[in-house]
Structure 1
Amino acid sequence: MKKIRVLHISTAHQPQDPRIVFKQCQTLADEYEVFCALPNADPSVAPDIHFIRLPYYRRVIWRILITCPLILLRCLPLRPKLVHIYVPEFVPFAYAFRLLGAQIIYEVQENLHKKMHLKTINKGRFLQKAFLWFDHLARQNFYLIFTEHGYLSTYSQLAKPHVVIYNFPLLSFLEPFRRPYGPNPTHPSFFYIGWLSFERAIDTLIKGAALLKVSHPNVAVHLFGQCIFTAELLEAIPDYAAVRDSIHFYGYTDQRLAFPKSAGATAGLALLKPVGDYPESYPTKLFEYMALGLPVVTSDFPLYQDVVERHRCGFCISPYEPQQLADALTYLIEHPDEAQNMGERGQRAVEEHYNWRTEAEKLLLFYKRILYRN
C-alpha cells in the first residue's frame, strides 16, 4: 500500500535538528512518506527521509520574502496530505497547502508571547504585530503541537485539537555516547550543550568557574552552542580573564560530534534565569545529561526541582549565585561515588519516564487522529 505523504517545514532550524529530524521525522517514516524542508538540509543524516534543501537567512524578513515563497514553489507539487510547520512566519503560506486539501499542524516550541523581548534580532513593533497575527491564524485554523504543558496557560480556546509532545531524549540516538562514569579527579571537566546567553546564565557560569578554580586549578568547562553575545560583553564579565584558559567555546556543533566530549565529565550544566518561558519549559539538555549518566546542575525552578530532587540526580541552585554553583561543582568533584550514584539514578529516571518512546506514540496517534477524521 502506498504511504500517505507528509511534509515538515522550517525556515530556521539547523539541518540536523534532533527533534525534527531524528525524533519526529524518523518516527513517522515507518508509516508515512516523509518529506522535510530545512535550511542547508543534509540527506545523508537520515536516508529514509526525503530532504528539501532551503537557503538560510538569519533575519525573518528575508525568510518571509525569499524562503517561504521558495518553499511553495518546491513543495506544492508534492501534494502532501499533512503539513507540519515549525515557524510562525510560514503560517500564512501554509494556507496554500490547505487549499489543496492538506491538514496543517503548527508546532509551538517556545512561548514567544513571553520571549519576544529577549530576541537580539528579529524583534521590533512590526515583527511583533506580524507574529501576533500569524499566531492568531494558527490558533483559529490549525492543529497544534506544544513541546511544554506550561504553554497551555497562554494558548487557550483553540479551535482544533492539540497535544503536548515533550522533547524528551531519543535513547537510541544517545546510546553510542554512553560511557561508564569516570571523571578525572585532578583535571575535572564540565559539559554544556545549547544556546549560550546571559539569560542562560553564562555570567554565573564564568564567575562560578573562577571560584572553583581557586581550589581546583585544572578545571575545564566545555561549552557547545552558538553564543548570543559579543566578544566585548564576554570580556566584560568579571573574572573572565581568570578562567579564559579553562572555558572552551566550540560554537554550534552537531550533537553527534559534541556528545563524545561528555565522556569523563563530572557533571552536565543547565542553568537558566527566570525570564521568558524558561521557568515553564524543560531544558532538553537536562534529560540528555541524565540519559548519559551525568549528575546535573540546573536552576531552582519548581518544574526542574520536581525532576532533579525527586530522583536525587543532581543539584538545583539559584542561576544568580556563582557561589552556589561553585559549591555544587566542588561537591561533585570531591564526592565521586555519590556523583556516580546521582548519574545512575538520573539515567534510570530517563529510561523509565523521560524518553522519546511515549512521546513518539503520542505523535503517531495525533497524526492518525487528524488524517483519518478528515
Structure 2
Amino acid sequence: MRVCHLTSVHPAEDIRIFVKECQSLVSAGHEVILVVANESPRVINGVKIVGVHAPAKNRLMRMLKATYEVYKQALKEDAEVYHFHDPELIPIGLLLKGKGKKVVYDVHEDVPEQVLSKQWIPSLLRKPISFLVKAVEKFASKRFDAIVTATPTINERFKTYNERSITVHNYPILNELIDPNLDISKKQFEKPSIVYIGGITELRGIREMVQAIETINKDQHVQLHLAGKFSPPELEIKMRKLPAWQYVNYLGWLNRQQIKQCLSDATLGLVLLHPEPRYVVSYPIKLFEYMSAGIPVVASNFPLWKEIVESSGCGKCVDPLNVDEISETIRWFLNHPEKAKEMGMNGRKAIEEKYNWESESSVLIRLYDELSTKRD
C-alpha cells in the first residue's frame, strides 16, 4: 500500500517513527512517505521524507500552522493509509477519514496524564484540558481504522474506544547500540563511568543524579556522562552553578552512533524518573537501550520497572527521590565489577529473547496486512 506517516512535532529521523515504523513498513513492501514540519525533502532507506514549511513564534502558532501545512501535504500524497503521531493532528485524521482514507492514530504518550504535569499550562486549567483531551481522543478513536499504542496501559483505555487497538512497544533494535561480535564478558571497567541519556528535566531526576555523583566522589572518583537536551533551557544554567557539576561531563545532544559509543564505554546506566503517574506506567526506552548495550541499570522502583529489572536480573531499583539510596547503589556497582558485568549480560540476554523491535515490528506489519484487506 501507499502509506503516509504524519507528524508536526517530531524530527524527520525520529527513532520510533522513522527508524522503526517507517523502515519496517518499507521492508514489508509498502511505499512509505513521511510528512514532517520544517525539514528538507530527501529519501533515506526507501522512506520518502517530505518537509512542510511551518515556522512559528510560539507553541500555539506552531500547532496551528504546522497542522494546516501537514494536512495540505497529506492531501497531495493521496495515500491509502494515513498514520499520524501527534494528538494535535486528530482533526486531520478525522478530515482524512471523511475523505474515505484509512487512518491510524499512533499514541506515544498518555496525553491526558501528561497535561496534568505540564508546567506551561496554568494549574487551574490542567484538569479541564485533560478532561477535554480524553473526550476528543475517545470521540475520534472510535472513527479511526486502528490505534497503535506504545504501552499496554495506554492500550487499556483505547481498547474501550476501538477494538482494533494494539500495543507496539518502543523496544530497541537488536544490534543498533552494540557490536554483535562484542563479548560482554570480557569488557573491562578501568575507568568507571555512569551515563544518563535522554531528556534532561527535574522530573527525570537530573538533580538527584548529580547530587548522588557528588556524594560518591567524596571517597572515589567517577564521572556522570550526561547526554541530551535540557528542558527548560534555563535548567542547564541552574545545574552548572552547583558544586557537583564538576563531576559531570555534559555531552549535549548525541546522534545514534555517538550514543552507541557512549554506551560502549559506560559502567552503569541511570534512569531515575520521578514517580509521576505517567512515568510509573511507562516503558522507558532508555532502560531497554542500556540493557541492549549490555550495561547494568539503576532504575526507579516503580512496580512495572521492578518487574522488568528483577525478572531479567539486569540491575537494581531505588527510590528516585532518595539521593543516599541512589549513591549507595551506584557505589555497590562500582565495588562489584564482576556482578555488574553479569547483570549487564543478563540485560542483553533479555533484549535478545524478548525486548526487541524485531519482535514488535511483526505486530505492526500484521496490522497493515489487515488494513490492506479491509474495505470500507
User: Does the pair score TM above 0.5?
Assistant: yes
Displacement of 1:153 in angstroms is: 4.3
1:300-348 Cα distance to aligned partner (Å, 9 max, x none): 1111111111111111111011111111211111211111111111101
Q: What RMSD, in angstroms, separates the aligned Cα atoms of the two structures?
A: 2.5
Gapped regions of structure 2 (runs ≥ 5): none
Secondary structure (helix, strand or coil) at the match of 2:75 reads helix
Tell me whether 337-346 or 223-232 shows the greater mean CA deviation: 223-232
- Other-structure match for 1:21: 18
Change beyond 3 A, Cα 1:356–1:59:
farther
Under a length normalisation based on structure 1, what TM-score does the superposition of the two structures give? 0.90
* Cα contact 1:12–1:56 (8 A) shared by 2: no
* Cα contact 2:12–2:34 (8 A) shared by 1: no
Tell me whether 346-355 or 260-269 shows the greater mean CA deviation: 260-269
- AA in 2 matched with 1:304: W
Secondary structure (helix, strand or coil) at the match of 1:51 reads strand
- Other-structure match for 1:32: 30
- Other-structure match for 2:223: 220
Displacement of 1:49 in angstroms is: 0.2
* Cα contact 2:34–2:47 (8 A) shared by 1: yes
1:61-108 Cα distance to aligned partner (Å, 9 max, x none): 223321111112222121111111111111112233223321111111
Residues in 1 aligned to 2:283 and 2:2: alpha-carbon distance in whole angstroms: 31
* Cα contact 1:177–1:292 (8 A) shared by 2: no
- AA in 2 matched with 1:317: V
Instruction: Answer yes or no: is 1:151 the counterpart of 2:149.
Output: no
Change beyond 3 A, Cα 1:25–1:37:
same
Residues in 1 aligned to 2:374 and 2:198: alpha-carbon distance in whole angstroms: 38
Residues in 2 aligned to 1:100 and 1:65: alpha-carbon distance in whole angstroms: 21
Displacement of 1:133 in angstroms is: 5.0
Displacement of 1:282 in angstroms is: 1.0
Q: 1:46 aligns with which of 36, 44, 47?
A: 44
* Cα contact 1:171–1:355 (8 A) shared by 2: yes
1:279-314 Cα distance to aligned partner (Å, 9 max, x none): 111101111111100001101111111111111111
Residues in 1 aligned to 2:174 and 2:313: alpha-carbon distance in whole angstroms: 21
Residues in 2 aligned to 1:317 and 1:27: alpha-carbon distance in whole angstroms: 36
Tell me whether 195-204 or 50-59 shows the greater mean CA deviation: 50-59
Instruction: Answer yes or no: is 1:255 the counterpart of 2:251.
Output: no
- AA in 1 matched with 2:143: N
- AA in 2 matched with 1:288: E
Gapped regions of structure 1 (runs ≥ 5): none
Written as runs of structure 1 = structure 2, the 5 A alignment for 1:53-72 is 53-54=51-52, 55=54, 59-72=58-71
Q: 1:139 aligns with which of 115, 138, 141?
A: 141
Displacement of 1:121 in angstroms is: 3.4
Tell me whether 65-74 or 142-151 shows the greater mean CA deviation: 65-74
Q: 2:213 aligns with which of 209, 224, 234?
A: 209
1:238-286 Cα distance to aligned partner (Å, 9 max, x none): xx63321221333333223223112221111111111031111110111
Identity of aligned pairs, percent? 25
- Other-structure match for 1:312: 313
- Other-structure match for 1:195: 199
* Cα contact 1:7–1:34 (8 A) shared by 2: yes
Q: How many residue pairs get matched?
A: 367
Residues in 2 aligned to 1:261 and 1:95: alpha-carbon distance in whole angstroms: 43
Tell me whether 143-152 or 44-53 shows the greater mean CA deviation: 44-53
* Cα contact 1:178–1:263 (8 A) shared by 2: no
Under a length normalisation based on structure 2, what TM-score does the superposition of the two structures give? 0.89
- AA in 2 matched with 1:273: H
Written as runs of structure 1 = structure 2, the 5 A alignment for 1:195-344 is 195-217=199-221, 219-231=222-234, 235=238, 241-344=242-345
* Cα contact 2:112–2:131 (8 A) shared by 1: no
Residues in 1 aligned to 2:235 and 2:271: alpha-carbon distance in whole angstroms: 24
Change beyond 3 A, Cα 1:159–1:58:
farther
1:201-255 Cα distance to aligned partner (Å, 9 max, x none): 11211111111111223x1111212212454686379xx6332122133333322
* Cα contact 1:103–1:371 (8 A) shared by 2: no
